[in-house]
Amino acid sequence: MLDIHFIRDNPDALKAGLKKKGVEFDVDYLLHLDEKRRAKIKEVDDLRAEQNVASEAIVGLTDKAKEAKVAQMQSLKAKLGDVEFELKALEAEFTELMQKVPNLPLDDVPAGGPEDNRVIREVGEKPQFDFKPRDYLEIAEALDLIDMERAAKVAGSRFGYLKREAALLEFALVRYAFDTLLPEGFIPIVPPVMLRPEHFRAIGRIPPGQEEERYFLHSDNLYLAGSAEHTIAPMHAGEVLDENALPLRYFAFSSCFRREAGSYGKDTRGILRVHQFDKVEMFSFVRAEDSEPELERMVAWQERLMQGLGLPYRVVLIAAGDMGWPEAKLYDLETWLPGEGTYRETHSASTTTDFQARGTNTRYRTAGGELAFAHTLNATAFAIGRTIIAILENYQQADGSVKIPDALRPHMHGISEIRR
């Protein structure tokens, strides 16, 4: 959530940021509603003050005067009830409107949509084959690593079974990520995979019109999380953190759930875009001044993980109109898939500045004793399925076998290649 004081003082900057992000919103109406709400708050406060004065004045009055004062107090009480009801309605509309305002892009984020995303750098040598490279699903089916047919029988479309060495690869990637990130001061956690609606809205991950993207359990009033970010971001809701404890870094392994309602017809084969997948996620709570440096550190950690696997990738700065609701700046890492002959997104890293922390009321106390909202950042360590796809395609051999990257072999129970 944005700061209403910022909106009042900088309406033109808000309008420019919304335009840059491609979001239509009536800023003038929000400000008009805010004025009405503040006026109504003052009216409530004035009536309560008047009540207090009348209550104190009743002491020592004659019976007749007391009767008149009681009648006045009853009238004030009735009027206060009406005004408080009006204020409640205004507050509800105001809160709903504030939740429809996305975070604003930072100045160095390019304007535009997906076609305006900016490639920052390409890293790694693309593998050269003396045969036509196969796509991952052809490789996986030949090696009995992924079973989509039986998963569809059991759960429907966009689910898959990881089998044999593919299942081992999943946990090898998790171990490799843990080995890499633990020395960097990350606290490992296994978070809940469900959260209450108010927390999902507070972190800006149910933007207007995208409610169908999330799985909701009506009988329990809980959403299934689409990322560990969704349950780590509100983890310290309502708390005041010690500045000396920042940066507070978590990394989590969790299953993630997405309906992919907006991707009908896209990537319908295989495990590239599925309803359930596992992921290792990084998350940081930092001071405001450390927000952008922490984002660059997160991207550096992502690159270190990818370089350790020997996978070619590129870093892409995402344009404002292609970013999510709470994001102020977003990088994607796209990995080369030789079977497709293209790069595909495998990682993202973003800062939401203080947008999520305002929604969850997560603050820290500065050395000077002042309270400030934390900045929150999140980044993929590994989206397991997509990383396995990249390994299968980049490490495939002419005879149909697949080599295991050196970095993962210590966790593969002596397996150095997959073959049948």
Whether 259 is catalytic is no
User: Where on the phi/psi map is residue 391: left (φ > 0), alpha (ψ -120 to 50), or beta?
Assistant: alpha
Catalytic residue among 84, 122, 213, 345: 345
CB contact at 8 A, 286 and 246: yes
In angstroms, the CA 127 to CA 392 distance is 12
Whether 363 is catalytic is no
Q: At what angle do helices 384-394 and 164-181 cross, to 10 degrees?
A: 110
Catalytic residue among 158, 334, 386, 393: 386
In angstroms, the CA 332 to CA 343 distance is 11
Q: What is the dihedral of CA 406, 408, 414, 419, to 10 degrees?
A: -80
Residue 103: other Cβ atoms inside 10 A: 25
Catalytic residue among 258, 297, 358, 363: 258
In angstroms, the CA 121 to CA 314 distance is 6
Residue 53: other Cβ atoms inside 10 A: 11
- Candidates 298, 267, 310, 275; CA nearest to 125 is 310
Whether 386 is catalytic is yes
Whether 175 is catalytic is no
Catalytic residue among 8, 201, 259, 273: 273
Active site positions, annotated: 258, 273, 345, 348, 386
